[in-house]
Chains A and B, each alone.
Chain A
Amino acid sequence: MTANAPIVVERLTRSYGTQRGVVDLTFTVQPGEIFGFLGPNGAGKTTTIRVLMGFLRPSSGSAHVFGLDCWSQSTEVKAHVGYVPGDVRLWDNMTGKQFLDFMGAFRPSISPERRRMLLERFQVELDKRIKHLSRGNRQKLALVQALLHDPPLLILDEPTSGLDPLMQHEFLTFLREERDRGKTIFLSSHQLPEVERVADRVGIIREGQLVAVLTVDELKQRRTRPMDVVFAGPVDPSEFADLPGVRVLAVENGSTRFRLGVQDDLPRLLRRLSDLPIVDLTYAPPDLESVFLTYYQAEQRERQEAAS
């Protein structure tokens, strides 16, 4: 099963001279799942994807797509893959239609119905020259060309960047539909909420190393969402001490302004807040740093335990 899995990466290292790329990555992407590849900018997501696409040769280790070696069999690999690069740069002098026709000419079977459906769904501008298109419209062209030939595997590097929120939502909905049709999707992103919305499993990469591979439910347990609360008068921080999924991160302005880290047990927290003289509340989306913080703290604890 694993041997011909959509993506198998084993002990993959790729460096750029003395610069770090990725180090000793191992993970597998299973058929019919959306695998989120999550990490801050410069973490090594794009390097990994370029190895998968056969643009870069691994320094050591291996990467396989459907059992095919990504470097020596990259032509065959690309027959099974729809790809959107992280930095979409198209041929400026082509029109959108020329671009899609050109990219489609290399694929043996593109259904006109699918092409029509994609163009309608993503509202792609076909007649303008690409140099006159907005960033979002260029991104949509890149997405459509990756989906045109209905590939079994999509490799998408930050695919929603440049899209407006409505189109982002539409695209993520489309990805879930594709997953339900049995497609496998490798989605790189630095936005935790986006990955949480669509992914089944998540690989977290930082400074070139894979920190963890988790299900989305496991991820949700490990991250915290920041909540900023303003009270009419001073509040004792011990009010939150008995709430297990809540930590006080900062207290300011004479104990009237709190920043809380909320990992769990939101209903109890809201009940507690309603008993206090609350005047304002901001509940921010979860961020990636809070996930890393969880792992640092765990690592620190392990080191301390080992030292003692």
Chain B
Amino acid sequence: MKIKKGIPLIDQHDKNGFYGGKFGGNYVAETLKKPIEDLEKLFKKSRNDKNFLKERDNLYENYVGRPTRFIKLQNLSNHLGGAQIYAKMVSDANGGAHKIYNAITHAMLCKRAKKKYICTDTGAGYNGKMFSMVAKKFSLGCKVFMGIRDIERQKPNCDAIRRNGAEIIPVTSGSKTLVDAVSECIRYWVSNCDKVHMGIGSLVGPNIFVKICGWSTAQISRELKVQLEEEFGEIPSKLKLINCVGGGSSAYGFWSEFIDYNKNQVELIGVEAGGPKNSKLHAAPLSKNSKIGVLHGAAAYCIQDSDGQINKTESISSGLDYPSVSPIHCFLKDTGRAKYTYATDEEALDAFKLVTELEDISPSLEPAHAFAIAKKISPKLNSSDVIIINSCGDSLKDKDIIKKRLGNYSR
């Protein structure tokens, strides 16, 4: 299994949609074969269409706001000692997270497919919020599938979704979180694929959804590369890019431009959700060595029992609370290009507390997992090491959880 240079990782699949011969694929019902094939054709055409790209860039410029900031966290660097720590403030993006990039592409594809309705899943609520925003902008009807457990714990984003005129479909089956929301969204699409465009909210699902999402979030690393050259005059010789991984959409977007670099120069570190400190439950299929399974149309490392049933997961961050992970990250893991680890709920909260006390930023609980690892490794490094954390979401959505766990929340 080997990564090819000079080709975007999302395009390094075989004719059946597998990366490294075994991750990904298209495990879908016959009914979805045709809509997926149509979407593949449309995306292939669109990504090479000048007008499509012009429209997208215009939206990134004037709607998302670009580039998102690249800032040095001087106080955090001083406090921890060791490496120079920076953050890519992707939470600056309109809506407050990286999910806007994928949502824009899907809305544009939906329009070109001449469909008037769009549906998606959401865990943390950010993907749902971004889809509701673009649906409003593009005059599309929008349904957002969300587990009732997440509806309870991510109220600010739910309010935003409804304000934008989208409908939240509460999902009550199974664990009532993201995994069930995605299943329900796919079920809805099976029944309505002639009229409705589906956008999956992360780098997961049948191959085409992995590709569209990765192609979209890649904007993050395109910006970062320019910003690194502005700041250092070159790509630093000892660089660590730390990103949280649920499905893995922000991590791929953060890394895509740097995958071809030698791993001794640019180290890629993915941080999964380790769950509560004293619990056996977690959402870390890569770093806790889960076996490969087929979930939501793709083969990937997946938390499951010996009979193949999907196991319950647990994480303080809804956005990482998913039993499987992108086939792209499985590929990056097995080729050794990226390393994956996890942070517990408590470590993420501690990191959130530290970062917000020292710096004028407020990462959501998802990137707080990445900050937790930066906190751990930075003291062991020295000033020639550069750590960059993708601060891919804003904490406002987590205010209730943070207030409950840390006693207060101010913004």
Real binding pair: no
